[in-house]
Amino acid sequence: MSDTAVATEKPKTSFRGSGGVRGWFGRQPGWVRAVVALAAAALAFLLPYVGDIPLIGPQLITEGIDWPSALFNMSYYVLLALGLNVVVGYAGLLDLGYVGFFAVGAYGTAILTSKDSVLYSHTGWAWLAAVPVALAATMLAGLILGWPTLRLRGDYLAIVTLGFAEIIRIVATNTQTFRGDRGFTGIPHPPGTWNGKVIFGVTDAIPYFWLGLVVIIAVIFGVRNLDRSRVGRSWLAIREDEEAAEIMGVRTTKFKLWAFSIGAFIGGLGGVLFAGEQGFINSSTFVLQFSILVLAGVVMGGSGNMAGAILGGALISYIPDRLRGISVGGTDLYEYRFAMFGVVIIIIMILRPQGLIPSRRRAMELKDRAKEVAPL
Amino acid sequence: MNFSGLIDNFGPLTVAGLAQGAIIALFALGYTLVYGVLRLINFAHSEVFLVGTYACLIIWGWFGLDQNSARPDFGAMLGYMALGLVAAIVVSGTVALGVELVAYRPLRRRNAPPLAFLITAIGASLAISEFVGVATHRNQRGVPPIIQARTVITIGNTHITNLQILIIALALVMMFVLDRFINGSRLGRGIRAVAQNPDSAALMGVNKSRVISLVFLLGGLMAGIAAVMYDLKIGVTKYDAGFLLGIDAFTAAVLGGIGNLRGALLGGLLLGVLQSWAAGLFGSNWLHAAAFVLLVLILMFRPSGLLGESLGRARA
């Protein structure tokens, strides 16, 4: 008992010393933190109504796209960012093909439920029934990707993961079973009725956003607990120095595979939600730029920190959506959204190389390194 | 699977693959040079290539050439080729230096973590390709027929065109020149020194910043040449051309051993030929999938590429 008390005491004191909002948050007793977290979650549920706030509200909401839909887009981007954060931020495995798992989740749902699927006469399941199978498939895909790449480091891993996502996209584009550009139509929506009305309809995106939010909160809890467990400490050790970790008895193979399959699982969740909301998917959704965008979000927000990943994931979806429908001097800014987004990424990374909300540990490492280096 | 198709067309597929591979190899040099020195993937290199493909078209456009023009005579052809190459080299080199200045140098001053460089490079890549996309209305642009592909050598059913010979020869010459430059010149020695150990090199009086700029410039020059060759071979260019071929080039660099110049040549030629064979065997839709499967297989047995990592022989 006393051993664990000492072990948990030390790092906390060093965090409590830090200033700012997060320093304050860290110094509060457990119940205050719980209340603040609950309040934040409750506020997140009210986001669809942000446009009703006088003055500020109309500035925040997107003009060219229905605001709840924009929020739903943000929710699955946030999910993907959270999942990729496990792989890149915690375990330090550079994954450039994360969209592959998103695709497996979405296609897993589609092929089990859509009437266009070759399996339709056997399956034709409801959305909810397809979810566990699709998620199992993505975890398996995570293992399949993880297994041959265990020996690879850094950039070799990056190119193989990139290739993995491309292979999934090419298979989806060029095989009869996955229907390429024609895609799958009629993917059922999530179930449920309220006062005799269907909750998850086609016109109102708010329930989908709330569903996404519930999933996000569940994922945050799950990942937070993993991060503070043996698994999380092993990831950290692998990220910092794989050889040293292995020598100290960390089973690197096992925990790298864990990182891949948990990351894949979360990406699959995003895909399943996406398929359930859209009702239609085709291969052109799952392009490589998508994974690169999510990676940019994670690193921009603060790799290795969930708050950062959430912010980054939300921003990569929000900025382009917000630019839609704004015209300056006759040209629609939507046309320039990605170009401007690219410039924004560069500016943010130059001003805050450790990300917008960096992991505290990472920030300290960076400070240490900055002292060591001789100026160029 | 079309085995007879592959066997019947083995010669033509191989030659076409070599020509494509030569372009990929020149393009891959930019990745491998920057990686050798900075240990970073220069994601924006694909856009360095892209601006090259447009630069020569714009110059040719000034002379009133478009894809419908008549083929120029031999002297004019030489002049246009030289102009196009110079334009592409100058523009690609400038953009490469610009990328280094905007996306890399500020981060290097702050000693940012490696992932931060990757993200600014991604940002630069996105910004450049999208600005080109907007400026060209995302339409493809045709290339004037500066060199008409014409069969000059026939071996069996293999027809080798003058263009294929030009591309392969130019790539080999450039590789040789670059190899001599890195391994034989004073500046090249500086590059190798920084690649081997940046801090020691700085202590020995090597100007690290200048070496890094030089490396970006060299990568840009090679990409410019690759861009002109690409234009002539493919006949059209588009705002996403750099991104798509960039994946191939990066794959080639990794295949040969990233950071290794000769590895880039080997990787590029090998990848080009393999893709060509895969296209013959499975159909052209599958060429990238086949290439990636092969890459995974090779990396499983040789985790640091075919020739291993080293810039020149510095690390061997």
Residue, of A21 and B269, whose pLDDT is higher = B269
Rounded to a whole number of angstroms, the distance from the CA of A5 to the nearest CA of chain B is 33
Q: What is the DSSP letter of A357?
A: S
Tell me if B126 and A166 make a contact (CB, 8 A cut-off).
no
Which tokens go with B11? Answer: 């010669």
The answer to whether the CB of B308 falls within 8 A of the CB of B267 is no
**Would A15 be classed as within a structural domain?**
no
pLDDT of residue A16: 46
Please state, in angstroms and as integers, the Cα–Cα distance from residue A223 to each residue in A143, A212, A219, A220, following that order. 18, 16, 6, 5
Which tokens go with A158? Answer: 């990056």
DSSP string, A58-85: HHHS-SSS-HHHHHHHHHHHHHHHHHHI
Tell me if A350 and B106 make a contact (CB, 8 A cut-off).
yes
**Would B21 be classed as within a structural domain?**
no
User: How many CB pairs (< 8 A) connect A and B?
Assistant: 144
Which residues neighbour A335 within 8 Å (Cβ) at sequence distance 6 or greater?
A: B134
The answer to whether the CB of B128 falls within 8 A of the CB of B44 is yes
Task: Look at residue B254 and tell me whether its pLDDT is greater than 80.
Answer: yes
| Chain A residues within an 8 Å CB radius of B118 | 94, 295, 299
Rounded to a whole number of angstroms, the distance from the CA of A226 to the nearest CA of chain B is 23
**Would A19 be classed as within a structural domain?**
no
Domain residues for the domain of A145 are 64-286
pLDDT average, residue stretch B109-116: 81
pLDDT of residue A376: 42
Q: What are the two backbone dihedrals, phi and then psi, of residue B151, each rounded to the nearest 5 degrees?
A: -70, 130
pLDDT of residue A369: 61
**Would B19 be classed as within a structural domain?**
no
Angle subtended by helix axes B208-234 and B162-184, to nearest 10: 170
Which tokens go with A327? Answer: 């015209």
Q: How confident is the model at residue B39 (pLDDT cuts 50, 70, 90)?
A: confident
The answer to whether the CB of A138 falls within 8 A of the CB of A107 is no
The whole-angstrom separation of Cα A325 and Cα A211 is 27
Nearest-by-CA chain B residue for A334: B134
| Chain B residues within an 8 Å CB radius of A354 | 112-113, 116
| Chain A residues within an 8 Å CB radius of B124 | 342, 346
**Would B192 be classed as within a structural domain?**
yes
ipTM of the complex: 0.85
Tell me if A346 and B247 make a contact (CB, 8 A cut-off).
no
pLDDT of residue B292: 82
Nearest-by-CA chain A residue for B209: A376
Secondary structure, 3-state, A249-272: CCCHHHHHHHHHHHHHHHHHHHHH
pLDDT of residue A371: 59
The rounded average pLDDT for each run of 10 residues, N- to C-terminus, in chain A (376 residues) is 43 50 75 86 85 78 83 92 92 89 92 81 79 92 86 78 87 84 84 79 84 93 91 90 89 91 93 90 84 88 88 89 76 78 87 82 66 49
**Mean per-residue pLDDT over chain B, rounded:** 87
**Would B141 be classed as within a structural domain?**
yes
**Would A27 be classed as within a structural domain?**
no
Tell me if A353 and B107 make a contact (CB, 8 A cut-off).
yes
**Would B12 be classed as within a structural domain?**
no
Tell me if B122 and A292 make a contact (CB, 8 A cut-off).
yes
**Would A80 be classed as within a structural domain?**
yes
pLDDT of residue A86: 93
**Would B179 be classed as within a structural domain?**
yes
Question: Considering only A83-97, A111-125, B70-84, B129-143, which range has the smallest mean pLDDT?
Answer: A111-125
| Chain A residues within an 8 Å CB radius of B107 | 349-350, 353
Which ranges of A175-251 would DSSP assign to H, the alpha helix? 206-227, 230-240, 242-247
The answer to whether the CB of B158 falls within 8 A of the CB of B148 is no
Q: Which of A339, A345, A346 sits opposite B134 (nearest CB)?
A: A339
Tell me if B289 and A171 make a contact (CB, 8 A cut-off).
yes
| Chain B residues within an 8 Å CB radius of A156 | 254, 258, 299, 303-305
Q: Which of A88, A162, A174 sits opposite B247 (nearest CB)?
A: A162
**Would A313 be classed as within a structural domain?**
no
- In angstroms and rounded to an integer, the radius of gyration of the C-alpha atoms of chain B is 19
pLDDT of residue A19: 60
pLDDT of residue A349: 87
Among positive and negative, which fits the CA dihedral B286, B288, B289, B291?
positive
**Would A54 be classed as within a structural domain?**
no
Residue, of A229 and B312, whose pLDDT is higher = A229
Rounded to a whole number of angstroms, the distance from the CA of B68 to the nearest CA of chain A is 30
**Would A77 be classed as within a structural domain?**
yes
Number of structural domains found in chain A: 1
Rounded to a whole number of angstroms, the distance from the CA of B292 to the nearest CA of chain A is 5
Burial A289-316 (b: 16+ CB within 10 A, else e): ebbbbbbbbbbbbbbbbbebbbbbbbbb
Which residues neighbour A265 within 8 Å (Cβ) at sequence distance 6 or greater?
A: A83, A135, A138, A139, A142
**Would A236 be classed as within a structural domain?**
yes
pLDDT of residue A375: 44
Task: Look at residue B311 and tell me whether its pLDDT is greater than 70.
Answer: no
The whole-angstrom separation of Cα B11 and Cα A42 is 67
Secondary structure, 3-state, B4-45: HHHHHCHHHHHHHHHHHHHHHHHHHHHHHHHHHHHCCCCCCH
The whole-angstrom separation of Cα A142 and Cα A131 is 16
Number of structural domains found in chain B: 1
pLDDT of residue A55: 75
Tell me if B120 and A370 make a contact (CB, 8 A cut-off).
no
**Would B288 be classed as within a structural domain?**
no
Rounded to a whole number of angstroms, the distance from the CA of B122 to the nearest CA of chain A is 7
Nearest-by-CA chain A residue for B286: A170
**Would B128 be classed as within a structural domain?**
yes
Nearest-by-CA chain A residue for B305: A156
